[in-house]
Amino acid sequence: MESGIRRTIDWVDGRTGFETALRNFLSEEIPGSAGWAQVFGSVALFLFLTQAITGVLLAFNYAPTPGEAYESLLFIVRKVAAGKMIHGLHHWGASLMIIVVFIHMAQVFIYGAYKRPREATWIAGSILLLLTLAFGLTGYLLPWDNRAYWGTMVTTRIISSVPVVGSSLLRLIGAAEGIGVLTFARFYALHTMLLPAASVTLIAIHVYLVRRHGITPRPFEPKLTQRFYPRQAFRDVVAIFATFAILFAAAALLEVPLERLADPTDTSYVPRPEWYFLFLFQLLKLFQGAMEPIGTVVLPTIAVLALFAIPFVDRTRLERSRGRVLAAALVVLVFAIWGTLTAAAVLTSPPGSPPLLTAAPAAAWAQLPAEQIAGLGYFHSAHCDTCHNLLAGEPKPGPNLITSEVHHARPWLIQHFNNPSLVLPSTKVAPMHFSLPQLNALSLFIENLTPDSASKLDDIPMNVIQGAQTYVVSACGSCHKVNGAGGGIGPPLNGIADRRSKQWVKAHFLAPQKLSPESIMPPYHFSSAEENAILVYLFALPE
């Protein structure tokens, strides 16, 4: 058995060199001073692979167009098996990767690992840092919620302030005429195709250069060596395991922020970028008016150029202890400035909307069709409860509408409402003066009465009943579905509270084509009471 496995391994190694390469990798000589400080490169690579895998899994159910992107993300989190966990791993993994990459760059800087002959290694790592930030920037728009839309609007404003080439850059990202389908498509292409390809290429170059020049020893340590395996390999595995444990806990316990569907008309919204760009957001407040390009373009450009210039400016010998102390002090200063600006942005920003990814439990009555809820209102307004019980109660002249053995179909019920004496000559019930939509709702309510549905009726608030009645008489159900009932011309209205604000819906009632150019919906001029009631009803609907 063992000889067969050995022959198979030898066959694979003879044709691929995999075993030999792995053995050489594990037996590579590294400085004897290498320890826990050197694990961050491996952790960063692990997080990149995690982002790639979870990104592919999300792409299986993600719709890369603005409107559908939001709905598909809700579907992933609420319907797809382990979808919430996958999305959480991807979201929090992005933040964790940025933290680890910055720590790795700081460790490399303090150790002087950018000095000759490792200048190219430092440059490749610096480009990877910028690519990591670019992933966060392009991925920020993809949920297509209010937070993403208005945060990206700030980004485009910064880009437009770049002297000479600002307008050309806006056209390049498809935002010359505002953020729309073209902007979304280009951000998606960057995030899922161009940036991954560039990152894989740079990672391969970076790893090759690290292996070519070796790991930089800790300054002032004896020049002893050790094998990568087992001690350093063990440290890397422990660090990766600890990182994944933190990431898994974040994905399981923390809600990923998701606000309502992007609303370009919500000009009162205060944009807030992801935490790792909050420092730049704060700079916008410090440099205003004509000084704005200093904070948005000049200072960030100087910082990037300084990052690339470090190996060519600092040519001191690595053994000089004073240089390493100054390097550590500079790292502390940079992180202090970044942290201070970030903290200031957090403290001065208003709170955002609560996360909407986890659907709030809906009331039992919210699962009923609009006609049944409206029918309950007509049942009471016509004083049907004077003669009929729905469930238990004191005996009344008419039959119990649930327990009675006789159940009439809708045409009979509508005729009974219009002309009671025609179908029941002995009755003294007066005709109802309801419109056809109201009669349909009342007949549907009675026709579909069951002990289960009747048990949900007592908890329905009066303003919800009034809102359902406004929905019915306005024929909203001819185009929209609620709880699976209605037409399919317009979008389903379930979960509208997750997608739109009440202000947007109000404006849409008055001028549908202004906010939805392809809509065939006529304008509705509700009274204040009707408008408030239908908004209460619509925003109580479950996803």
Range(s) of the chain covered by CATH 1.10.760 = 364-538
Segment 176-196 shows an average pLDDT of 93
* pLDDT at residue 318, as a whole number: 59
* pLDDT at residue 1, as a whole number: 61
Percent of the chain predicted with pLDDT > 70: 94
pLDDT tens-place string over residues 32-70: 667 788 899 999 999 999 999 999 999 999 999 887 898
Bond preceding residue 230 cis, omega within 30 of 0:
yes
Instruction: Examine the pLDDT at 206 and tell me if it is beyond 90.
Output: yes
Closest CA to 468 of 418, 517, 541, 401: 541
Instruction: Examine the pLDDT at 152 and tell me if it is beyond 70.
Output: yes
* pLDDT at residue 346, as a whole number: 83
Residue 189: pLDDT band (50, 70, 90) is very high
Closest CA to 280 of 265, 264, 293: 293
Q: Which residues of 134-168 are buried (b: 16+ CB within 10 A; e: fewer)?
A: bbbbbbbbbbbbbbbbbbbbbbbbbbeebeeebee
CATH says 364-538 is which class? mainly alpha
Segment 85-103 shows an average pLDDT of 96
Sequence-separated contacts (24+) of 226-230 with Cβ below 8 Å: 226/29, 226/30, 226/31, 226/32, 226/34, 227/26, 227/27, 227/28, 227/29, 227/30, 228/25, 228/26, 228/27, 228/28, 228/29, 228/30, 229/26, 229/27
Whether 437 contacts 475, CB under 8 Å? yes
Rounded to the nearest 5 degrees, what angle is found at the Cα of 343, between the Cα atoms of 340 and 348?
A: 125
Tokens of 271: 């944009």
Better pLDDT: 140 or 500: 140
* pLDDT at residue 399, as a whole number: 82
Where do runs of H (alpha helix) occur along 362-401?
370-381
Whether 311 contacts 115, CB under 8 Å? yes
In terms of average pLDDT, the best of 83-92, 230-239, 289-298, 508-517 is 83-92
Percent of the chain predicted with pLDDT > 90: 32
Range(s) of the chain covered by CATH 1.20.810.10 = 32-348
Segment 484-513 shows an average pLDDT of 85
Better pLDDT: 192 or 293: 192
Instruction: Examine the pLDDT at 157 and tell me if it is beyond 90.
Output: no
User: What fold characterizes domain 32-348?
Assistant: Cytochrome Bc1 Complex; Chain C (1.20.810)
Better pLDDT: 532 or 272: 532
Tokens of 270: 């205060």
pLDDT tens-place string over residues 377-414: 888 888 888 888 877 677 788 888 777 777 778 788 88
Instruction: Examine the pLDDT at 452 and tell me if it is beyond 80.
Output: no
For the entire predicted model, the pTM comes to 0.74
Sequence-separated contacts (24+) of 78-87 with Cβ below 8 Å: 78/357, 78/359, 78/543, 84/251, 84/357, 84/358, 85/251, 85/252, 86/54, 86/57, 86/58, 87/54, 87/58, 87/251, 87/256, 87/357
- The SS3 call for residue 466 is helix
Where do runs of H (alpha helix) occur along 287-320?
292-293, 299-313
* pLDDT at residue 322, as a whole number: 52
Segment 514-537 shows an average pLDDT of 87
* pLDDT at residue 435, as a whole number: 86
Q: Which helix (H) or strand (E) holds 160?
A: helix 146-160
Residue 358: pLDDT band (50, 70, 90) is low
Segment 307-321 shows an average pLDDT of 77
Other CB atoms closer than 10 Å to residue 131's CB: what's the count?
18
Instruction: Examine the pLDDT at 514 and tell me if it is beyond 60.
Output: yes
DSSP state of 232: I
Whether 483 contacts 494, CB under 8 Å? yes
Other CB atoms closer than 10 Å to residue 74's CB: what's the count?
21
* pLDDT at residue 222, as a whole number: 58
* pLDDT at residue 187, as a whole number: 95
